[in-house]
Structure 1
Amino acid sequence: MQEQTTRLGLPYILPSQAQKHVPHNEALETLDALVQLVLATIGNIAPATPEDGACYGIGASPSGPWSARAGMIARWSGGAWQFIQPRKGWLAWCADENRLYVHDGGAWTRFTHIGPLQTLGVNTTPDETNRLALASDACLLTHDGGDHRLKINKADEGDTASVVFQSDWAGQAELGLAGNNDFSIKVAIGSGGWVTALAIGNTGHVATPLRPAAHAWANVAPTAMAVGSLSGFTDTEFATGGFALGTPLPSGIGSTLVVPTSAYYLVCVGAMPASTSPITVDVIVNGTKMVVGTGYHSGTPANRRICASGIVPLAEGDWLALHHQGNAVIDFGFNKTDLSIIALT
């Protein structure tokens, strides 16, 4: 007949055994130690004054009364140490660390988890879309002695790998690979859509498709402008970033060009006299402030284009027009008398 249980090695009470209470009580003592197992600590040195009934996990290099007992359980009972050999998979709570340990068959190791986690929530509840969720004032991802890289991997080129920034659970900005392999920065607009503020392709070219810029002119016949009068614009070759034609001017020649956002702008003005008479053409802001101008020019020879440029701070909603001095006939049109402007900041 087998004298011990298979898993815990507890003694059976045998038919012919004397003092049957002795092995029975030993078995109860072992069960008392192992059921809901709590280790006061895990280490290599036996405590000087252990509490009766307390259990300890023995480390990998024990000494003293625990010598040659690496990985075992030491139980202090009745003034003596009792040693129990754990088996692979036994769990124990380490009281001084507030951690769960598992025995790997040779030593006690910190318990992490069994297999991959389907979801994980830290101070919040994850779901099937957000399988990893964290609620905290901050989170830290740091190195382990060298480099540290955060990797976001997508399946195909048409998929998205990005970081979205929200306010009150509404997206406000996004950066990453959004639907292609170009790195982009996008922002939300008031209508609920998204626009690309910056895009970097695989050539390294940095594109700013919404940078405010325009090339504008008036598509009218050559005109002798009255001194102090304003001309505007009827056509644009391009107008990006919100540049648009505004209010028609009293001269009847074109409309204002309205600034979409506050920035420093590079402004270039060109003027072409169609007669040999004096001419001055200035870019005027809001009808009051001249910012870039050709200066006085004799108009000789006729049909020779004169240009000027400068960097100008402009505010959202400012409007631009051309201010005229002199009595030369002005030849309006594309690459004749026109305005080019682009935001620098």
Structure 2
Amino acid sequence: MSEQTENLSLPYILPSQAQKHVTHNEALQRLDAVVQLVVTAALSAPPLTPAEGKVYAVTATATGDWAGQEGKLALRQDGAWLFLQPRAGWRAWRADTAAPVLHDGSGWVEPPLPSSGTMQQLGIATGADATNRLALSSPATLLTHAGAGHQLKINKASVDDTATLLFQSDWSGRAEIGLAGEDALSFKVSPDGASWRTALALTGHGRVHLPHRPLAEATRSAGSAIRTDGEAVGFDGLSLTQGDVALGATVPGGSGLRLLVPETGLYRLGLTLATSATAAHGVDLLRNGSTSLARIRKISTAGLETTAFAGALVSLAAGDWLSLSHFGTSTVHYGTTGTRLHIALE
């Protein structure tokens, strides 16, 4: 018969043994240490002033009274050290890290998570909360297949709710992609995290909308006016506009207002000239009152109204302005079917 138990190595009280209370008390000491096991810390040398009843995990290259006891538990009992050999499957609470540990037969490790189950919150290297129930702090996140394809699903309860990806800079929103309060896929952007604009929207029918793309039709009020050679003329209305295209100050040395460019980029320009004249005439579309971007030249129309068109693809900067400069003398006809300018950011 063995003299100690198999799992906890507790000494048996033998029939012929004297001072049986000593053996009994030794078994109680071991039980007091390993039942509801709390490891104070993992050290390689004994603390200077160890407290009675404290248990330590002895690490590699142990020194002092712990020399040669690597991997064991050191129990301080009655002013001396008692060493216990932990076995695979033992569980303990690490008081210094406030975390559970498991002995795998070689050393103390963090217990594995269950293969299945439900958690209310999970934080990986960061804290989760009631709103962000799953939180992760990591240089990258990998979601891969299990042999075929892979889908990431973001579901919302109703049309008015939100199912989006939000991109932030220092916790301030800058872009949002998804179903934002509607069922159309939208791309929204913000310069400050407070004011948002929809840059792109795709309907369920596959149609694409660019609600803030700069574009406009600029003209003057319907009617006719005689324009002379070198006369500078602007506009007085926008029959169509979006994307912050607007009219500005009066054209220098002329009449009408400047057409202001809101954003730097490539622009498609379309200029229509409707005139009647008895001599050669035309018009130039100018940038900032000097650089010609598009030009129309016409011969005499014998007094009959005719139209001509000129188009151009040009690079414009935010703050540039457009106006017209006439060549020759002619009667110019205005309105949405007359002389007008179309502008659109490509």
TM-score by length of 1: 0.70
Report the CA distance between 1:174 and its aligned residue: 1.1
Which of 87, 100, 103 is equivalent to 1:93? 103
CA contact (8 A) 1:37 1:92 kept: no
Residue 340 of structure 1 pairs with residue 329 of structure 2 = no
Which of 120, 135, 139 is equivalent to 1:133? 135
Q: In 1, distance between residues paired with 2:27 and 2:222?
A: 109
Residue 143 of structure 1 pairs with residue 144 of structure 2 = yes
Q: In 2, distance between residues paired with 1:293 and 1:36?
A: 91
CA contact (8 A) 1:285 1:320 kept: yes
Report the CA distance between 1:321 and its aligned residue: 0.7
SS where residue 272 of structure 1 aligns?
Answer: strand
Tell me: CA distance 1:145–1:23, structure 2 relative to 1, closer, same or farther (3 Å). farther
Q: In 2, distance between residues paired with 1:93 and 1:321?
A: 82
- Deviations along 1:143-189, one digit per CA (max 9) or x if unpaired, are 15433332222111110011222223222221111101111111125
1:203 corresponds to which residue? 205
- Output the amino acid matched with 1:93: H
Q: In 2, distance between residues paired with 1:189 and 1:111?
A: 42
Tell me: CA distance 1:250–1:225, structure 2 relative to 1, closer, same or farther (3 Å). farther
2:196 corresponds to which residue? 194
Q: In 2, distance between residues paired with 1:300 and 1:28?
A: 122
Q: In 2, distance between residues paired with 1:263 and 1:211?
A: 11
Tell me: CA distance 1:239–1:30, structure 2 relative to 1, closer, same or farther (3 Å). same
1:212 corresponds to which residue? 214
CA contact (8 A) 1:282 1:322 kept: yes
- Deviations along 1:39-96, one digit per CA (max 9) or x if unpaired, are xxxxxxxxxxx99964554xxxxxxxxxxxxxx99xxxxxxxxxxxxxxxxx842264
Tell me: CA distance 1:191–1:240, structure 2 relative to 1, closer, same or farther (3 Å). farther
Tell me: CA distance 1:313–1:111, structure 2 relative to 1, closer, same or farther (3 Å). closer
Q: In 1, distance between residues paired with 2:12 and 2:156?
A: 61
- Output the amino acid matched with 2:335: G
Map of 1:274-285 to 2, 5 A cutoff? 274-285=276-287
SS where residue 126 of structure 1 aligns?
Answer: coil
Residue 152 of structure 1 pairs with residue 154 of structure 2 = yes
Tell me: CA distance 1:111–1:286, structure 2 relative to 1, closer, same or farther (3 Å). closer
Which of 167, 175, 185 is equivalent to 2:187? 185
1:311 corresponds to which residue? 313
1:258 corresponds to which residue? 260
Q: In 2, distance between residues paired with 1:190 and 1:288?
A: 36
Aligned-residue RMSD, C-alpha:
3.9
Map of 1:4-23 to 2, 5 A cutoff? none
Report the CA distance between 1:35 and its aligned residue: 6.4
- Deviations along 1:184-214, one digit per CA (max 9) or x if unpaired, are 1111256932110111111111211000000
SS where residue 305 of structure 1 aligns?
Answer: strand
CA contact (8 A) 1:268 1:309 kept: yes
CA contact (8 A) 1:189 1:195 kept: no
1:60 corresponds to which residue? none
CA contact (8 A) 1:292 1:310 kept: yes
Q: In 2, distance between residues paired with 1:111 and 1:209?
A: 49
Of the structure 1 ranges 165-174 and 202-211, higher mean CA displacement relative to structure 2 is found in 165-174
- Output the amino acid matched with 1:140: T
TM-score by length of 2: 0.70
CA contact (8 A) 1:220 1:253 kept: no
Q: In 2, distance between residues paired with 1:256 and 1:338?
A: 13
CA contact (8 A) 1:120 1:132 kept: yes
Report the CA distance between 1:260 and its aligned residue: 0.4
- Output the amino acid matched with 2:160: G
Q: In 2, distance between residues paired with 1:153 and 1:191?
A: 24
Gaps of 5+ in 2: 40-70, 73-82, 91-100
Of the structure 1 ranges 242-251 and 92-101, higher mean CA displacement relative to structure 2 is found in 92-101
SS where residue 174 of structure 1 aligns?
Answer: strand
Report the CA distance between 1:288 and its aligned residue: 0.5
Taking every aligned residue pair, what percent have the same amino acid on both sides? Answer: 37
Aligned length: 290
Q: In 2, distance between residues paired with 1:157 and 1:151?
A: 16
Q: In 2, distance between residues paired with 1:270 and 1:114?
A: 70
SS where residue 160 of structure 2 aligns?
Answer: coil
Tell me: CA distance 1:100–1:229, structure 2 relative to 1, closer, same or farther (3 Å). same
CA contact (8 A) 2:231 2:254 kept: no
Tell me: CA distance 1:95–1:209, structure 2 relative to 1, closer, same or farther (3 Å). farther
- Output the amino acid matched with 1:271: L
Report the CA distance between 1:263 and its aligned residue: 0.9
CA contact (8 A) 2:172 2:193 kept: no
Q: In 1, distance between residues paired with 2:107 and 2:219?
A: 77
Report the CA distance between 1:120 and its aligned residue: 2.5
